Structure 1
Amino acid sequence: MTTAPARTAAARVVDAVKVYGAGDTEVRALDGVTVGFPAGRFTAIMGPSGSGKSTLMHCAAGLDTLTSGSALIGDTDLSALDDRGLTLLRRERIGFVFQAFNLLPTLTVAENITLPLDLAGIAPDRARLDALIDTVGLRDRLHHRPSELSGGQQQRVAVARAFAGAPDVVFADEPTGNLDSRSGEEVLRLLADTVRGTGRTVVMVTHDPVAAAHADEVVFLADGRLVDRMAAPTAERVLDRMKSLDTKPLDGRPADAATAATARRGART
């Protein structure tokens, strides 16, 4: 199994180990994972419940620290940064899209989009910002507040906010988890189109094979280890691969596909 060369990776982890607890309660969430997320590409991370996919994303994005190994954004080793350095790196070089949108209710759409730039004291590139607003289809909603928007519109605001500062990489954690299928499809197309239109990088954790099919590549985790990579994924191929990984027994019997899918939908790990 090969990983993306370091020189082409917008983000990567090397020999990543993450352990929670100790003794009898120890959980090895990541067990020696080395994987790169290529620049200018849309990568999905998948795996059964408890496989370590969200832990991988959180550590790669500097939201959590590794027990051992390295996490890098470009050539910057996150372990070499203090808290202030990590805060600045996340603000200036990383974008985030979360399942719960995380918009500030007192700010307008326009203010939510430019919030990371405002916090960093950076004047937005108006031409690029205008193009981004048109891409996400929010031109007629700029003066609305989040409570006046649908869930899909709120997530489009979150996507625009994530890309507003032209980050090196955007991390998306179950970005369609709170959306209906139509809104979710719109957000996924938006992420894919933005990657291909701007050359930015997106790394997305998802439990949904249909969502993963929008990515350029899927990486699969199981028991805290990288077990496979799939280029040009389709929902059917991803689902088949997930079935082969999701062998955790329920009541002593292998989980059938329907039960396993239900379990994955309910899991946010």
Structure 2
Amino acid sequence: MSTATGTATAARVVDAVKVYGAGDTAVRALDGVSVDFAAGRFTAIMGPSGSGKSTLMHCAAGLDTLTSGSAFIGGTDLSALDDKRLTLLRRDRVGFVFQAYNLLPTLTVAENITLPIDLAGGRVDQQWIDALVDVVGLGDRLHHRPAELSGGQQQRVAVARAFAGRPEVVFADEPTGNLDSRAGEEVLGLLGRAVRQTDRTVVMVTHDPVAAAHADEVVFLADGRLVDRMAAPTAEKVLDRMKAFDARTTADTSRGGTP
């Protein structure tokens, strides 16, 4: 899939609306969001708490369904897929990294990395796996089990596993949330290297301006709407933008409006 400018698009949503609940208790988590995520790029999604950033990621990745609008992986409209085909798409074309590492404690690092391929009955491309292991720096840990690794090392295993099946796009939801700052920097650095060295696409939800600064572009949400995009972000520029959201929310609240 390509945009009008000719840039390939790994994932996108069009007029995305997501409503939780009904009647007076309904919450409009996404309110008409249209955004594309460029292939071969590292994009961060940011916004105040409750802005809809995790909802956007879950709907774009096919983990949740939209109330209205469309979500695409490449040129595939997710709403056109039944449950079985959606499951296969997530398995074959999408990778995931979450705060929790979700490694199987009885398997070695090498076995955890190739687990999704093995469960699917696929063929492991050892050359690709070796390249990933080199990117994430785990060559001397392949025969260790998760309990023998630090939190940062376990998350690096999870990143390698997400890329193992050569997905078109990897979605990462607060991937450094359980890590200290040093380990978090290592994981963010390797996500960037994975994008550059393997020509993959990463879309990451984060609340941390320092984490967002590792991305090629930051997409900002507020009140369930797309409000800004920032190329070549720095932690300072992202923090300033987030402060502007806080200032607006405070002003709205002081006037008796809805934040």
* TM-score, normalised via structure 2 length: 0.93
Question: Match of 1:130?
Answer: 130
Q: Is the 8 A contact 1:117 1:124 kept in 2?
A: yes
Q: Is the 8 A contact 1:46 1:205 kept in 2?
A: yes
CA shift, 1:55, in A, is: 0.1
**Using the alignment, how far apart are the partners of 1:246 and 1:154 within structure 2?**
34
Question: Match of 2:77?
Answer: 77
**Using the alignment, how far apart are the partners of 2:131 and 2:9 within structure 1?**
26
**Using the alignment, how far apart are the partners of 1:86 and 1:45 within structure 2?**
23
Question: Match of 1:242?
Answer: 242
Number of residue pairs aligned between Structure 1 and Structure 2 = 251
CA shift, 1:4, in A, is: 7.6
CA shift, 1:253, in A, is: 6.5
Secondary structure at the aligned position of 1:141 is classed as coil
Question: Match of 2:96?
Answer: 96
**Using the alignment, how far apart are the partners of 2:188 and 2:5 within structure 1?**
26
The one-letter amino acid of 1:163's match is F
Structure 2: runs of 5+ lacking an equivalent? none
Q: Comparing 219-228 with 3-12, which one deviates more in the overlay? A: 3-12
Question: Match of 1:20?
Answer: 20
CA shift, 1:107, in A, is: 1.4
CA shift in 2, pair 1:138/1:215, >3 Å? same
Q: Is the 8 A contact 1:42 1:217 kept in 2?
A: yes
* TM-score, normalised via structure 1 length: 0.90
Question: Match of 2:224?
Answer: 224
The yes-or-no answer on 1:207 pairing with 2:207 is yes
CA shift, 1:246, in A, is: 2.2
Structure 1: runs of 5+ lacking an equivalent? 255-269
Q: Is the 8 A contact 1:10 1:39 kept in 2?
A: yes
CA shift, 1:155, in A, is: 0.3
Question: Match of 1:193?
Answer: 193
The one-letter amino acid of 2:39's match is A
The one-letter amino acid of 2:167's match is P
**Using the alignment, how far apart are the partners of 2:221 and 2:165 within structure 1?**
30
CA shift, 1:144, in A, is: 1.3
Task: Provide, for residues 32-78 of structure 1, a one-character-per-residue CA deviation record: whole Å limited to 9, x for no partner.
Answer: 00000000000000000000000000000000000000000000011
The one-letter amino acid of 2:42's match is F
Secondary structure at the aligned position of 1:96 is classed as strand
Q: After TM superposition, what 4+ stretches of structure 1 lie above 4 angstroms from structure 2?
A: 3-7
Task: Provide, for residues 6-40 of structure 1, a one-character-per-residue CA deviation record: whole Å limited to 9, x for no partner.
Answer: 86110000000000001111000000000000000
**Using the alignment, how far apart are the partners of 2:74 and 2:17 within structure 1?**
20
Alignment of 1:1-269 (within 5 A): 8-247=8-247, 248-249=249-250
Task: Provide, for residues 91-138 of structure 1, a one-character-per-residue CA deviation record: whole Å limited to 9, x for no partner.
Answer: 100000000111111211111100111122111111111111111111
CA shift in 2, pair 1:6/1:82, >3 Å? farther
Identity %: 81
CA shift, 1:245, in A, is: 1.0
The one-letter amino acid of 1:116's match is P
CA shift in 2, pair 1:5/1:167, >3 Å? farther
The one-letter amino acid of 2:31's match is D
**Using the alignment, how far apart are the partners of 2:4 and 2:44 within structure 1?**
14
The RMSD of aligned alpha carbons is 1.7
